Amino acid sequence: LAVDRAMLELNVIGTLSITKAVLPSMLQRRSGHMVCISSVAGKLPAVISGSYSMSKHAVQGFYNTLRMEVADRNVAVTLVCPGPVVSEGSANAMSAKIGETVGSHAVNDQQKIPTERCAHLVAVAMANRLTEVWISKNPVLLFTYLSQYVPSITVWLGAAIAQSRIKAFKDGDRDINAGLSINPFKIIRRLL
């Protein structure tokens, strides 16, 4: 539970602390725009990253509720949900032990959004005061749409992909994005 608590402290309590520090002045001015970086892991399960996914689901719940609560005071809330982004994030990801990181940088950056592109799309979402934006390449983006509109299919396909990710992890592939190169259409054909 120590890693779960640390993840909640970092991703939920840390984010809420900043929000609660600046929100009163926005409400008093009756103007503001809260932008929160969440993750597609807050929209759908992230196999081998359950604590991370849990924390991002909590972030999604809080900010979706906040958006409704402050709508009448001209305070906008934008949730940004990036998928895998080219960064040192996977190398710095928490491991199963407190104080340790995964420590390996994912080598398959082709499956990830370039950092500059992600930043540009965040700026576009902010400028247009979007309520939520998903920033990712396929197949993660496809799964985000499936999760939103046909969740039963996501559970079915996700279970098949989960097994591939778990096997890669057990085989020593510590890339937290292992298994993302799987083609969901091949899985559908195999399962049918």
The yes-or-no answer on residue 52 being catalytic is yes
pLDDT tens per residue across span 75-120: 999 999 999 888 766 555 555 566 665 555 555 677 889 999 999 9
Query: What pLDDT score was predicted for residue 155?
Result: 85
Q: Indicate the pTM of the whole model.
A: 0.81
Query: What pLDDT score was predicted for residue 71?
Result: 94
Query: What pLDDT score was predicted for residue 124?
Result: 98
Q: What angle do CA 15, 18, 20 make, to 5 degrees?
A: 105
Of 53, 44, 88, 46, the residue nearest 179 (C-alpha): 46
Give the whole-angstrom CA distance, residue 175 versus residue 132. Answer: 27
Query: What pLDDT score was predicted for residue 26?
Result: 98
What is the number of other CB atoms lying within 10 angstroms of the CB of residue 35?
17
- Within 13 Å, how many C-alpha atoms sit on residue 62's CB side? 21
Give the residue ranges of the chain where pLDDT is below 50. Answer: none
Q: Please pick, among 52, 63, 145, 149, the residue that the annotation labels catalytic.
A: 52
Cβ atoms of 162 and 47 within 8 Å: the answer is: yes
